[in-house]
Amino acid sequence: MLKSLRLENFKSFKNAELSLGDLTVLVGTNASGKSNIRDAFRFLHGISRGYSIADIIGGKYEDGVQQWQGIRGGTKEIAYRGANSFAISVSFSVDDGDQKSELEYFIQLGLDTTHNPFPYIKKEHLSCNQKTDPIFEASFNLNHPVYPNSSQIHFLDYLEDYTLDIETDEDIYEHSVYDYLANHIPVLAQVAKGAKPYGELDREQFSHSTAKRVCEIALNAINEMRFLDLSPDVMRLPSFAGQNTLGDRGENLSSVMLDICRDQTRKAILLDWLQALTPMDAKDFDFPEDFTGKVLLRIEEASGQKTTAYSASDGTLRFLGLLAALLGNQRSRFYFFEEPENGIHPNRLSLLLQLMEQEVANGSMQIVITTHSPLLLNFLSPASLEYASLMYRIGDRAESRITKIMDIPNAREIVANDGLSSLLDSGWLEDAMYFLEDEEVQNP
């Protein structure tokens, strides 16, 4: 489970930390930094997929087909106000057998394009609270006095007697963990996927080392991330049976729903939620095929009325997309939803939130949502309220900041009496942070 995300000079954040719970809610005005949080998670997800830094930021293509969309703004806008480096770190708890551990992964990128045409990995490390020393530490120095482009990598198993400086010569580190020097592939991904240091280390011993095992655990923690931005027009399209992964835009909705409905128990759960979330008296789903063999979702009501995905309302399709994501057979461990209330009637928001909190309750899934809906905030459970955070900027400053809403002075008492929606609707949250900062300036 992810516990926190820390950003240094990343996009609009100079120095900020986000605490994460089972359900984390982000609020704030437009341009306050909520989408930049999404970009930070996407950056980490790109690392988990084994992509190079160039691919993560600029986009990944294979055989002319885009596999990954790059980070918004590219290299020119990824660092805070033109800074020459930025860093992202994430901490998470893991169950490793009978033992629970806390891990922290840190990566810093340099942006000195005078010496290097693209961002490069400057520092990287993985640490564990069960170990005194880091699992690994890596650094890349463009200005090393002996080797102009050199690396130092320390691994836990060999910290006392093994440190390596190497020149960036492909003959030296070919097929090794040091590929990241040429391709800018993070050490975390290289080691987790079996790369071994070139040189004196025993390869068989290293393949079973603590470093590889813990790197695998860390990589898995950031691997199963989904960033849904559902499009009703995309969800209306038929798909082939067997395409059982819902795309980020809602691709394959029909075949994902067909896969869920093969299990009568899960089908009944879907129908119950659809009846609760919409005025449709849905009693069944069926999936007629077109002349190409693609299936199309169709909803049958108790009256006999049948409605296909082609004519279903946008709100109904967004409901179905969320249901398919959260209840489907190919669920992820981490979802990021931007403004899930869009297209959904206000009196159904409590049910939508109930579904999310129900699915994260067993600890197998985390959800982060951004919202502009004051009403939705009133339905948050006490546990979720503790992880509701405000993204804000003070005046015309470029820096985005983060604070837990319940940590704002007097917020807890006001929420208990009037609900959180009143604070968001009135602008009280931003005003409170403005006055608090003003007090800090006057009374340093």
Residues with Cβ within 8 Å of 229's Cβ and at least 6 positions away in sequence, in order, are 248, 249, 338
Give the three-class secondary structure for 183: helix
What are the C-alpha distances in Å from 89 to residues 2, 102, 199, 254?
11, 13, 30, 38
Length of the chain, in residues: 444
- To 10 degrees, what angle do helices 314-327 and 253-261 make? 50
pLDDT in tens, the chain (444 residues): 999 999 999 999 999 999 999 999 999 999 899 999 999 999 999 999 999 898 999 998 888 888 899 999 988 899 999 899 999 999 999 876 667 889 999 999 988 766 666 788 889 999 988 888 888 888 776 554 444 445 566 666 544 333 333 333 333 333 344 444 446 788 888 888 776 654 444 444 444 467 888 889 999 999 989 999 899 999 999 999 999 999 999 999 999 999 999 999 999 998 998 888 877 788 999 999 999 999 999 999 988 899 999 999 998 899 899 999 998 888 899 999 999 988 888 888 888 899 899 999 988 899 999 999 988 998 999 999 999 999 999 877 789 999 999 999 999 998 988 888 888 888 899 889 988 876 554 454
Amino acid identity, position 414: I
- What phi and psi, each to the nearest 5 degrees, are found at residue 138? -135, 145
Closest of 33, 185, 10, 183 to residue 90, by C-alpha? 10
